[in-house]
A and B are shown apart, each in its own frame.
Chain A
Amino acid sequence: MLNKRNIIDIIYQVITYLAASVGVIALSMIIFFVFSNGLKLLNFGLLVNDYHAEFYNGGIDDPIFTFSHRPISLDDKVFYSQKWGIGLVDSKDREGNPIIIIEYISGDSPLLEIYDKNNEESKEIIGIDKGFLVSKISYYDKNTSLTMYGAESMINDIESTNEIREIVFSSLGGGIRGSIITTLYLISITIIIALPIGISTAIYLNEFSSKNRLTSLLRSLIETLTGVPSIIFGLLGLAVFVPLTIRFSEATSANIVSGSLTLSVILLPIIIKSTEESLKVVPDSFRSASLALGANHTQTTLKVVLPSAFPGIMTGTLLAIGRIIGESAALIFAIGTAVKDDISIFGKSTTLSVHIWSLMKDEPANIELASTIAIVILLIVLTLNIIVKLISKRFIKEF
Chain B
Amino acid sequence: MSTITRILNRYKNRRTYNKKEFVDKIVRVIFMMSTILSASFIIIIIIFISLKGLTPFVTSNSGIGSVNIISFLTGNVWLTGTAFQSSLYSIGFIIVNTLFIAFLSLLISMPVGVLTALFIAKIASRRISEFLRIVVELLASIPSIVYGLFGSGVILIFVYNLAEAFGIQSRGGNSVLATVLVLALMTLPTITAISEVSIRSVNKDIEQGSLALGATRTQTNFKVILMSAKSGIFASAILGIGRALGEATAVSLVAGNSKSGPSLGVFDITSTLTSTMLEGLKETTGIDYDIRFSVGLVLMVVILLTNLILNYIKKKVGSIDVK
Bound pair: A and B?
Answer: yes
Residues of A at the B interface (CB closer than 8 Å) are 5-6, 8-9, 12-13, 15-17, 19-20, 22-24, 26-27, 29-30, 33-34, 37, 196-198, 200-201, 203-205, 208-209, 217-219, 221-222, 224-225, 227-233, 235-236, 238-240, 253, 265, 268, 272, 296-299, 301, 322, 325-329, 332, 337, 353-354, 356-357, 360-361, 365, 367, 370-371, 374, 377-378, 381-382, 385, 389
Q: If the complex has contacts A218-B39, A382-B138, are A328 and B49 also in contact, measured as CB distance less than 8 A?
A: no
A337 touches B281 (CB 8 A): yes
Q: If the complex has contacts A29-B154, A232-B299, are A24 and B145 also in contact, measured as CB distance less than 8 A?
A: no
Option from B20, B144, B284 in Cβ contact (under 8 Å) with A326: B144
Chain B, range 142-159, C-beta contacts under 8 Å to A:
142-150, 152-154
Q: How near does chain B come to A239, taking the closest CB pair, in angstroms?
A: 4
Q: How near does chain A come to B243, taking the closest CB pair, in angstroms?
A: 8
Chain B, range 300-321, C-beta contacts under 8 Å to A:
300, 303, 307
B49 touches A272 (CB 8 A): no
Q: How near does chain A come to B239, taking the closest CB pair, in angstroms?
A: 8
Q: What residues of chain A lie closer than 8 Å to B97, measured between beta carbons?
A: none
Shortest Cβ distance from A300 into B: residue = B24
B153 touches A268 (CB 8 A): no
B23 touches A16 (CB 8 A): no
Bound-state CA distance A68–B49 (Å) is 68
Option from B119, B146, B249 in Cβ contact (under 8 Å) with A329: B249
A298 touches B27 (CB 8 A): yes
* B178 CB within 8 Å of chain A: no
B150 touches A30 (CB 8 A): yes
- Give B108-142 as 1s and 0s: 1 = Cβ < 8 Å from A's Cβ atoms: 00011101101110011000000010011111011
Q: What residues of chain A lie closer than 8 Å to B132, measured between beta carbons?
A: 20, 23-24
B248 touches A231 (CB 8 A): yes
A-B contact pairs, 11 of them (CB 8 A): A6-B216, A19-B116, A24-B135, A33-B153, A218-B39, A219-B39, A224-B42, A225-B41, A235-B48, A322-B141, A326-B143
Bound-state CA distance A272–B51 (Å) is 29
B23 touches A221 (CB 8 A): no
Q: If the complex has contacts A24-B135, A26-B139, A370-B149, are A228 and B144 also in contact, measured as CB distance less than 8 A?
A: no
Q: How near does chain A come to B299, taking the closest CB pair, in angstroms?
A: 7
Q: If the complex has contacts A205-B35, A298-B23, are A360 and B154 also in contact, measured as CB distance less than 8 A?
A: no
Q: What residues of chain A lie closer than 8 Å to B49, measured between beta carbons?
A: 232, 235-236, 239
By Cβ-Cβ distance, the 8 closest A-B pairs, closest first, are: A229-B246, A326-B143, A19-B115, A329-B248, A204-B31, A20-B119, A221-B39, A296-B20
Bound-state CA distance A12–B44 (Å) is 50
Shortest Cβ distance from B20 into A: residue = A296
Q: What residues of chain B lie closer than 8 Å to A374, measured between beta carbons?
A: 145-146, 149
Where chain A touches its partner, the secondary structure class is: helix
Q: How near does chain A come to B172, taking the closest CB pair, in angstroms?
A: 10
A328 touches B145 (CB 8 A): yes
Shortest Cβ distance from B36 into A: residue = A218
Residues of B at the A interface (CB closer than 8 Å) are 20-21, 23-24, 27-28, 30-32, 34-45, 48-49, 51-52, 111-113, 115-116, 118-120, 123-124, 132, 135-139, 141-150, 152-154, 185, 188-189, 192, 216-219, 221-222, 242-243, 245-249, 252-253, 274, 277-278, 281, 284, 292-293, 296, 299-300, 303, 307
Option from A19, A235, A299, A365 in Cβ contact (under 8 Å) with B152: A365
Q: If the complex has contacts A29-B154, A231-B248, A231-B274, are A221 and B300 also in contact, measured as CB distance less than 8 A?
A: no
Bound-state CA distance A22–B111 (Å) is 11
Q: If the complex has contacts A5-B216, A357-B145, are A27 and B138 also in contact, measured as CB distance less than 8 A?
A: yes
Q: What residues of chain B lie closer than 8 Å to A198, measured between beta carbons?
A: 38
B192 touches A23 (CB 8 A): yes
Q: What residues of chain B lie closer than 8 Å to A297, measured between beta carbons?
A: 24, 27-28
Q: How near does chain B come to A34, taking the closest CB pair, in angstroms?
A: 7
Bound-state CA distance A356–B147 (Å) is 11
Bound-state CA distance A329–B300 (Å) is 15
Q: What residues of chain B lie closer than 8 Å to A332, measured between beta carbons?
A: 248-249, 278, 281
Q: What residues of chain B lie closer than 8 Å to A209, measured between beta carbons?
A: 32, 35
Q: How near does chain B come to A192, taking the closest CB pair, in angstroms?
A: 14
Q: How near does chain B come to A172, taking the closest CB pair, in angstroms?
A: 23
A22 touches B299 (CB 8 A): no
A296 touches B115 (CB 8 A): no
Shortest Cβ distance from B292 into A: residue = A235
Bound-state CA distance A158–B154 (Å) is 46
B48 touches A229 (CB 8 A): no
Q: If the complex has contacts A198-B38, A240-B48, are A328 and B249 also in contact, measured as CB distance less than 8 A?
A: yes
Bound-state CA distance A235–B46 (Å) is 11
Bound-state CA distance A224–B41 (Å) is 10
A232 touches B135 (CB 8 A): no
Q: What residues of chain B lie closer than 8 Å to A382, measured between beta carbons?
A: 138, 141
Shortest Cβ distance from B137 into A: residue = A385
Q: How near does chain B come to A292, taking the closest CB pair, in angstroms?
A: 14
Bound-state CA distance A382–B199 (Å) is 27
A221 touches B42 (CB 8 A): yes
B31 touches A203 (CB 8 A): yes
- Could you say which of B146, B148, B243 has the most chain A C-beta atoms within 10 Å of its C-beta? B146
B115 touches A16 (CB 8 A): yes
Q: What residues of chain B lie closer than 8 Å to A15, measured between beta carbons?
A: 115
Bound-state CA distance A327–B20 (Å) is 43
Known pairs A229-B245, A231-B246; list 10 more (Cβ under 8 Å).
A9-B218, A15-B115, A24-B132, A224-B42, A235-B48, A268-B38, A268-B41, A326-B146, A329-B248, A357-B252
A19 touches B112 (CB 8 A): yes
Q: What residues of chain A lie closer than 8 Å to B148, measured between beta carbons?
A: 356-357, 360
Q: What residues of chain A lie closer than 8 Å to B24, measured between beta carbons?
A: 296-298
Q: If the complex has contacts A37-B153, A204-B35, are A30 and B42 also in contact, measured as CB distance less than 8 A?
A: no
Q: If the complex has contacts A23-B116, A377-B143, are A200 and B246 also in contact, measured as CB distance less than 8 A?
A: no
